């Protein structure tokens, strides 16, 4: 291999390796930041009105009855995630509702207060049905299915690290390609996980619209999410590009309009059958 070709290959490997490291590090930082935000919020939220607690429980009970399953526990908090700090956007950055799964405990659907005060009853039921879909999926899946991706990712990274060490010792000229292959596989694995999460969100949306038969309520919910939770794009060109990149490659939830379009297509397909 000529020197220019070898230099170009080495440069490409270095850039790809660095880019992969940035992607992996960014993903880990986002997870840790999310955990930290949720922990701080749970420590400092004010008590929520009992009427809202009853409203949340009633919404879950209503959709659980439609699905013919036992209703999960519910909880209401002032904010999910961290408050946005904007009086016009009353929700936290953690969304409108989330389902918490803890080892040895039943699932709990946690609602943000703004979801119960700002949405119509039909839209609250649509939100509850979406979270109920996650509960049902979790209850019907095995532990191997839930944690298999994590085990697979760790095996992949350890195998790649071992291959790289062997290459460095036995064939140094292959160390760069070995690192490149490891990082490409790791990034691809993370991309697949994000794609799987998005598919699960769409599946929960379709379950909700099947259960409630109310596409207008789903549309109200998506609009409310856009207006109160989804982060607006920054004004600067660089910030806007970064935000679009994050939405495209790192967001586990699809864009609200994408979700609504999927629900509309689903309803049309069902009517055509």
């009517």: which residue's tokens?
271
pLDDT of residue 111: 94
Unique residue bearing structure tokens 């961290």: 82
**Selection from 134, 268, 124, 109 nearest residue 200 by Cα:** 134
Quote the CA–CA distance of 190 and 182 in Å, as a whole number.
Answer: 12
Closest C-alpha among 56, 64, 58, 49 to residue 115: 56
- Say what the pLDDT of residue 48 is: 72
- The model's pTM is 0.72
| Tens-level pLDDT at each residue, the chain (273 residues) | 455 655 555 555 556 555 555 555 655 665 565 556 555 555 445 557 889 999 999 999 999 999 999 999 999 988 887 776 666 667 777 789 999 887 777 889 999 999 999 999 999 999 999 999 999 998 876 555 555 556 666 666 666 666 666 666 666 666 666 666 666 666 666 666 777 788 889 999 999 999 999 999 999 999 999 888 866 655 667 665 665 666 665 666 788 888 999 999 999 888 876
CA dihedral 118, 123, 124, 126 (to 10 degrees): -150
pLDDT number for residue 11: 59
How many C-beta neighbours within 10 Å does residue 188 have? 12
């Amino acid at each position: 291999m000529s020197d220019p070709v070898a230099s170009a290959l080495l440069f490409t490997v270095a850039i790809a390796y660095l880019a992969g490291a940035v992607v992996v590090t960014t993903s880990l930082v986002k997870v840790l930041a999310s955990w930290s935000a949720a922990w701080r919020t749970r420590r400092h939220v004010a008590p929520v009105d009992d009427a809202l607690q009853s409203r949340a429980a009633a919404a879950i009970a209503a959709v659980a009855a439609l699905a013919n399953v036992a209703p999960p526990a519910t909880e209401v908090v002032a904010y999910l995630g961290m408050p946005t700090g904007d009086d016009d956007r009353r929700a936290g950055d953690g969304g409108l509702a989330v389902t918490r799964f803890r080892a040895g405990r039943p699932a709990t659907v946690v609602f943000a207060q703004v979801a119960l005060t700002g949405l119509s009853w039909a839209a609250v039921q649509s939100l509850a049905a979406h979270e109920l879909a996650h509960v049902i999926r979790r209850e019907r899946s095995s532990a191997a299915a839930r944690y298999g991706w994590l085990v697979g990712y760790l095996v992949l990274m350890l195998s790649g690290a071992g291959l790289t060490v062997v290459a460095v010792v036995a064939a140094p000229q292959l160390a760069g390609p070995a690192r490149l292959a490891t990082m490409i596989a790791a990034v691809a694995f993370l991309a697949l996980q994000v794609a799987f999460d998005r598919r699960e969100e769409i599946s929960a949306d379709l379950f909700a619209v099947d259960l409630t038969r109310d596409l207008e309520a789903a549309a109200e919910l998506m609009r409310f999410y856009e207006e109160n939770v989804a982060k607006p794009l920054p004004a600067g060109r660089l910030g806007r590009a970064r935000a679009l990149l994050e939405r495209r490659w790192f967001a586990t939830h699809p864009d609200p309009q994408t979700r609504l379009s999927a629900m509309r297509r689903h309803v049309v397909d069902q009517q055509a059958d």
